[in-house]
């Protein structure tokens, strides 16, 4: 390659100057749209950077390293309450999400796992193309663990909270906190149950509830939450604060199968070449599945047909099904769905006549319940 020749003797040419406009141009008016657009998108991290419906202002709390004290504010579950608790007083939103979906790395609610307990929602409305892809990939011999993990939805717990760390945080009033189920709800529901009596300490009760103290250690991939403890509080949660709680399930955006598929496959490059036919199958099999297939537990078809030679063992040394979500690694476990299926089976054995429908009639439940999913 020859070196670049220069012409040092010649003075650098000045860029051609545009002739000055004769009449004054209103540059402010010309720039107005660009500035306005930029301002409106200033907090936008992607079309569905969060699971919230567009246009909603959700005051989200970002937990930082250190010790925190919060109160959880309960709210009345809406039509999209995943656990079927519409009209009931609930203390958190139990939701499964897929992260990093499509070229925009969006976050989307997984309809399959989020609404798996909602027997009133038709199975075809609960289908998820990403979960289907995950299951199909696992049928391929020598499937890539990393790809399968990246497709798996994650369980999140979302709370309405008041942060009591200091006056500044407290003055913000109600905030919304989205945290991995494993880090918070899993611990809280354990420590609030009296092992002797089986009674719960209803720590979110507005009149005689408790503060929650915990410590975040580390951040991002090395984060952990320790020392969860319930502390007595010498105040009550007033009516105004209770009414300020956001109906979280009604605020989340649940996309249709087609919408998720369009987003997902738009940026999905298959790295496992053997699975090429799967994409076609996933793209074209969007018609509702037959009713005979509706009650097949999530993941069971793929896991049994994948030719497992022996029952898989829990990589953490736990008991399959019984110890689901007990370990930190559960969140990204390669046999999570098998474990989930086993848990379903164990639950079904424990409760021979499962009645997921509400047994209590809440005072606030009026009219007919309609599924919160869009077709
Ligand atoms: Zn899914």
Q: pLDDT tens string for the chain (375 positions)?
A: 444 444 445 555 666 666 655 678 998 898 888 887 777 666 554 445 789 999 899 999 999 999 999 999 999 999 999 999 999 999 999 999 999 998 888 999 999 999 999 999 999 999 999 999 999 999 998 888 898 999 999 999 999 999 999 999 999 999 999 999 999 999 999 999 999 999 999 999 999 999 999 999 999 889 999 999 999 999 999 999 999 999 999 999 999 999 999 999 985 554 444 444 344 333 323 222 222 222 222 222 233 222 233 456 676 667 677 766 666 666 666 666 666 667 666 665 555 433 223 223 322 222 233 334 554
Tokens 């004054």 identify what position? 24
Residue intervals in the chain for CATH 3.90.198.10? 45-269
Quote the CA–CA distance of 204 and 313 in Å, as a whole number: 37
Ligand 1 midpoint to CA 109 (Å): 7
Ligand 1 midpoint to CA 72 (Å): 28
Quote the CA–CA distance of 197 and 141 in Å, as a whole number: 49
Buried b (16+ CB within 10 A) or exposed e, 28-53: eeeeeeeeeeeeeeeeeeeebebbbe
Ligand 1 midpoint to CA 131 (Å): 4
**CB of 155 closer than 8 Å to CB of 180:** yes
**CB of 365 closer than 8 Å to CB of 87:** yes
318 CB contacts (<8 Å, ≥6 apart)? 326, 327
* H/E run at residue 159: strand 154-163
Q: What is the CATH number of domain 45-269?
A: 3.90.198.10
**CB of 63 closer than 8 Å to CB of 161:** no
Ligand 1 midpoint to CA 215 (Å): 31
Other Cβ atoms closer than 10 A to 74: 20
Ligand 1 midpoint to CA 278 (Å): 16
Ligand 1 midpoint to CA 98 (Å): 6
């Amino acid at each position: 390659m020859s070196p670049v020749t220069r012409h040092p003797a010649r003075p650098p040419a000045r860029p051609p100057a545009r002739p000055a406009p004769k009449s004054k141009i209103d540059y402010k008016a010309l720039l107005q749209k660009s500035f306005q657009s930029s301002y409106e998108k200033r907090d936008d991290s992607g079309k569905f950077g969060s699971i919230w419906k567009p246009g909603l202002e959700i005051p989200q709390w970002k937990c930082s390293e250190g010790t925190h004290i919060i109160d959880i504010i309960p709210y009345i579950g809406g039509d999209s309450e995943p656990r079927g608790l519409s009209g009931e007083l609930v203390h958190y939103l139990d939701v499964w999400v897929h992260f990093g979906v499509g070229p925009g790395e969006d976050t989307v609610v997984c309809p399959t796992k989020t609404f798996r307990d909602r027997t009133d929602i038709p199975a075809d409305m609960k289908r998820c193309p990403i979960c289907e892809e995950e299951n199909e990939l696992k049928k391929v011999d020598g499937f890539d663990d990393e790809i399968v993990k990246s497709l798996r939805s994650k369980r999140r717990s979302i709370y309405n909270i008041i942060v009591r760390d200091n006056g500044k945080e407290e003055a913000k009033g109600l905030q919304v906190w989205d945290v991995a189920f494993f880090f918070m709800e899993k611990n809280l529901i354990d420590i609030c149950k009296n092992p002797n009596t089986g009674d719960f300490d209803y720590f979110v009760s507005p009149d005689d509830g408790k503060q929650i103290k915990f410590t975040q250690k580390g951040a991002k991939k090395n984060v952990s939450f320790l020392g969860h403890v319930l502390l007595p509080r010498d105040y009550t949660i007033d009516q105004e604060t209770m009414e300020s709680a956001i109906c979280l399930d009604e605020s989340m955006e649940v996309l249709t199968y087609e919408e998720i598929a369009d987003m997902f496959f738009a940026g999905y490059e298959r790295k496992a070449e053997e699975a090429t036919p799967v994409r076609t199958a996933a793209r074209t099999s969007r018609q509702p599945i037959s009713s005979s297939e509706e009650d097949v537990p999530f993941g069971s078809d793929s896991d049994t047909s994948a030719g497992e030679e022996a029952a898989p063992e829990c990589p953490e040394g736990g008991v399959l099904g019984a110890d689901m979500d007990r370990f930190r690694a559960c969140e990204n476990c390669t046999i999570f769905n098998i474990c989930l299926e086993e848990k379903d089976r164990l639950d079904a054995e424990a409760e021979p006549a499962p009645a997921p429908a509400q047994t209590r009639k809440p005072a606030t439940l009026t009219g007919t319940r309609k599924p919160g999913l869009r077709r």
